Amino acid sequence: DNQLFKAAMPVMAQIESHGYEAYFVGGCVRDSLLGLPIHDIDITSSAQPQEIEAIFKHTIDVGKEHGTIIVMWDQVPYEVTTFRIEGKYSDHRRPDSVAFVRNLQEDTLRRDFTVNALALDRQGQVYDFHDGLKDLKAERIRAVGNAEARFQEDGLRMMRALRFASQLGFSIEETTLRAIQKLAPTLKYISMERIRIEFSKFLLGSYLHTALPYFLDSNLSEYLLLPQGKVDSAIAELSDLLEETRNQFFANEESFVWMLFLQKLGLDQAKMKKLLRKWTFSNKFIDQVLAFDTLMHFETELFWSSQTAYAYNLNLLEPVQAYRLFRGEKTSKDIVEIKASLPMQDRQDMLVDGKDVMAALELKQGGPLIGQILAIIEAKILHGELSNEQEAIISFVKENWQGGGE
Question: Which class for 342: exposed (0-12), middle (13-18), buried (19 or more C-beta within 10 A)?
Answer: middle
Q: Which is nearer to Mg ion, 44 or 59 (CB)?
A: 44
Binding site for Mg ion (CB under 5 A): 26-27
Q: Which is nearer to ligand ATP, 31 or 232 (CB)?
A: 31
Q: How far apart are CA 15 and CA 58, in angstroms?
A: 14
Is 268 annotated among the ligand-binding residues? Answer: no
Is 107 annotated among the ligand-binding residues? Answer: no
Q: Which is nearer to ligand ATP, 84 or 264 (CB)?
A: 84
Is 30 annotated among the ligand-binding residues? Answer: yes
Please identify the residue of the shown chain whose CB is closest to the bound ligand ATP. Answer: 27
| Rounded least distance, CB 46 to ligand ATP, Å | 17
Residue 156 contact among ligand ATP, Mg ion, none, beta carbon within 5 to 8 Å by kind: ligand ATP
Q: Which is nearer to Mg ion, 27 or 95 (CB)?
A: 27
| Rounded least distance, CB 214 to ligand ATP, Å | 18
Q: Which is nearer to ligand ATP, 202 or 215 (CB)?
A: 202
- Residues with Cβ within 8 Å of 79's Cβ and at least 6 positions away in sequence, in order, are 40, 41, 42, 43, 62, 68, 69, 70
| Rounded least distance, CB 120 to ligand ATP, Å | 12
| Rounded least distance, CB 230 to Mg ion, Å | 32
Q: How far apart are CA 63 and CA 30, in angstroms?
A: 24
Binding site for ligand ATP (CB under 6 A): 26-27, 42, 111-112, 116-117, 154, 156-157
| Rounded least distance, CB 226 to ligand ATP, Å | 22
Is 160 annotated among the ligand-binding residues? Answer: yes
Closest by alpha carbon to 284, among 248, 303, 258?
Answer: 258
Is 40 annotated among the ligand-binding residues? Answer: yes
